Amino acid sequence: MNLPEHGGNLIKLSKKAGCNPKEILDFSANINPLGFPEWLRPFLHSKIEDLISYPDPNYTSLKKKIHSKYGICTEQIVLGNGASELILQIPFVVQADYALIAVPCYSGYKEAISLLKIPCIEVTLKEEKQFRLDINELRDILKSKPDQKALVFLGHPNNPTGVTLDKIEVLKIAQE
């Protein structure tokens, strides 16, 4: 299977473009083209000694801080190294008969779906509708398969269009 790439591979892009990687502004990944803020340099330097061992893989301290601030049970907190890692974990916890995505979308959704080896239905976001999700089309697809479990990936805001979803409409569909 030949899936689209997420982005952030400046070496590959620079070879293809025949330029220096530093000449590329890559907006395909969440990379700040200005670099990290200057205040961060001394902080990172002060933490160099901490790099000799792996961090807590269970994020115990961070989960406790999140619990203290927001009152969420630590058992309900799932953390990872970026959205891609978390999205790729979904196939291991979700048992779905098919998946549904609104395209164009973040390529990581299809990558996760490919791990499940289930059919993927694509709802095309149309330019003439300003790339807004047709909620009725989504609802119709889900209702057409009442005995099957669907894994639905919806970006909010969508990547790459930037269009947001109507939260109330999405909640209605989820409750139906």
The answer to whether position 28 is within a domain reads yes
Tokens 């299977």 belong to: 1
* 99 and 151 Cβ atoms separated by less than 8 Å: yes
Taking the C-alpha atoms of residue 45 and residue 54, their distance in angstroms, rounded to an integer, is 17
Task: Give me the chain's average pLDDT, please.
Answer: 89
Do both 113 and 169 map to the same domain?
Answer: yes
Do both 40 and 102 map to the same domain?
Answer: no
pLDDT of the residue at 66: 98
Q: What percent of the chain has pLDDT over 70?
A: 95
The answer to whether position 87 is within a domain reads no
The answer to whether position 58 is within a domain reads no
Predicted confidence (pLDDT) at residue 60 exceeds the cutoff of 90: yes
The answer to whether position 153 is within a domain reads yes
Angle between helices 107-116 and 83-93 (to 10 degrees): 20
Q: What is the mean pLDDT of residues 2-12?
A: 71
- CATH number for the domain spanning 154: value is 3.40.640.10
pLDDT of the residue at 6: 64
pLDDT of the residue at 134: 92
**Banded model confidence at residue 90, pLDDT cuts 50, 70, 90:** confident
Q: What is the mean pLDDT of residues 2-31?
A: 79
The answer to whether position 81 is within a domain reads no
Nearest residue to 122 (alpha-carbon basis) of 141, 103, 136, 98: 103
| Token reading at 58 | 């269970």
The answer to whether position 73 is within a domain reads no
Based on the structure, what is the number of domains in the chain? 2
The answer to whether position 131 is within a domain reads yes
Nearest residue to 137 (alpha-carbon basis) of 99, 102, 98, 175: 102
pLDDT of the residue at 16: 92
pLDDT of the residue at 35: 84
Do both 99 and 170 map to the same domain?
Answer: yes
Q: What is the mean pLDDT of residues 94-114?
A: 92
Do both 108 and 171 map to the same domain?
Answer: yes
Residue 36: which domain range? 1-53
Taking the C-alpha atoms of residue 161 and residue 106, their distance in angstroms, rounded to an integer, is 10
